[in-house]
Amino acid sequence: MLSRVAASFYWLSRYIERSDGILRMLKINYNSSQDSTEGFTWAPVIRVFSGLDEELEAKLGNDSRTILRYMVTDKSNQNSILNIITFARENARSVQEHIPKDLWQCLNEYYHTVKDPKLDIRLQREDPITVLDVIIKQVMLYYGTAEITMERGQGRSFMNIGKYLERAIQSIDILDIKYKPTNTNPTLLTDITYWKHLLLSIGGYELYLKTYRDGLEAQNVIEQIILNNDFPRSVIYSVNNIQRYFDRLKNNSNVNDYREISFQIGKLQSNIKYSSVKSITNQGLHQFLTLIKDDLYKIGNSLNEYYFANS
């Protein structure tokens, strides 16, 4: 497979996964914003997906519709859904003859749905959840079509590596930013709505209720998001899948490159696997998460160097 094509698969998938994460988070946060005016703030969302720009935060304020429009249809926001799907589509376009026609059409429809000027108007006037659901459905169609039609080859491996790498980074960012204020405000550690929000944002609330019977607690939330093998958005689940799909790239012609990255992934995987909530909090959650994130970035860079010929 051409290196450039592999890179496009990887980035296509990272962008789609990012759009999925953002959309789900917007939906839950919007819902919460209708629940309680008190204590709810959009700040974490904006921080995760738009960098730590305080000026921007002040400008956007806390008005839900302003923020939704900024996150979905605003061209000036690098991480708006409109921009992300445009990037995803540009990547798909450059590998059009490698992806099934169905999948290309699916992406195309996703793009045209978001690009449609009517969507922005609907976001201002109609129920935002209905509008977000329309877009989320496009992402789900994409994943379903990819699952059914993608040939089981290198291309799909690069796609899945990109997907899980993006997902791991997202979960880390969300946990990190949500946890940060507890340093100055320890009462948050036991604030039930605060953690419920976090879990709902990444779709882990139901699993949490089934796993932990003793109410919401920061420690358990950390455990679920980092260490739970059954939670599809946990860091360990994502890293395991990176390892799984990377393994399939093994062949005789690039043994050394393969070994180099395989080592990096294996080391990261063990590091997480042999951690406990206790060891993590002793080390400091922020520090632990930063190290894991650095390792993930390094894996991304190595792929770039050894497989995408972009060194």
Residues within the interface to other proteins (CB under 8 A): 1-4, 6, 90, 93-94, 96-97, 101, 104-105, 108-109, 112, 154, 249, 251, 253-254, 307-309
In whole angstroms, the minimum distance from the beta carbon of 309 to other proteins comes to: 4
d(CA 125, CA 65): 9
d(CA 60, CA 232): 32
> Chain centroid to CA 299: how far?
16
With contact defined as beta carbons under 8 Å apart, do 6 and 304 qualify? no
For residues 235 and 303, which CB has a smaller minimum distance to other proteins in the complex? Answer: 303
In whole angstroms, the minimum distance from the beta carbon of 98 to other proteins comes to: 8
Q: Which residues of 111-124 are buried (b: 16+ CB within 10 A; e: fewer)?
A: bebbeeeebbebbe
d(CA 175, CA 226): 9
Beta-carbon contacts of 40 under 8 Å, excluding residues fewer than 6 positions away, are: 32, 33, 62
For residues 105 and 190, which CB has a smaller minimum distance to other proteins in the complex? Answer: 105
In whole angstroms, the minimum distance from the beta carbon of 90 to other proteins comes to: 6
For residues 117 and 274, which CB has a smaller minimum distance to other proteins in the complex? Answer: 117
E-only strand ranges, 6-148: none
In whole angstroms, the minimum distance from the beta carbon of 241 to other proteins comes to: 19
For residues 180 and 248, which CB has a smaller minimum distance to other proteins in the complex? Answer: 248
For residues 112 and 137, which CB has a smaller minimum distance to other proteins in the complex? Answer: 112
In whole angstroms, the minimum distance from the beta carbon of 84 to other proteins comes to: 16
For residues 106 and 200, which CB has a smaller minimum distance to other proteins in the complex? Answer: 106
d(CA 222, CA 184): 18
For residues 247 and 294, which CB has a smaller minimum distance to other proteins in the complex? Answer: 247
In whole angstroms, the minimum distance from the beta carbon of 254 to other proteins comes to: 5
Sole residue written with tokens 């607690």 = 217
DSSP-based three-state secondary structure for 173: helix
In whole angstroms, the minimum distance from the beta carbon of 240 to other proteins comes to: 22
Q: Which residues of 152-171 are buried (b: 16+ CB within 10 A; e: fewer)?
A: eebbbbbbbbbbbbbbbbbb
For residues 112 and 273, which CB has a smaller minimum distance to other proteins in the complex? Answer: 112
In whole angstroms, the minimum distance from the beta carbon of 109 to other proteins comes to: 6
127 DSSP assignment:
-
d(CA 237, CA 140): 20
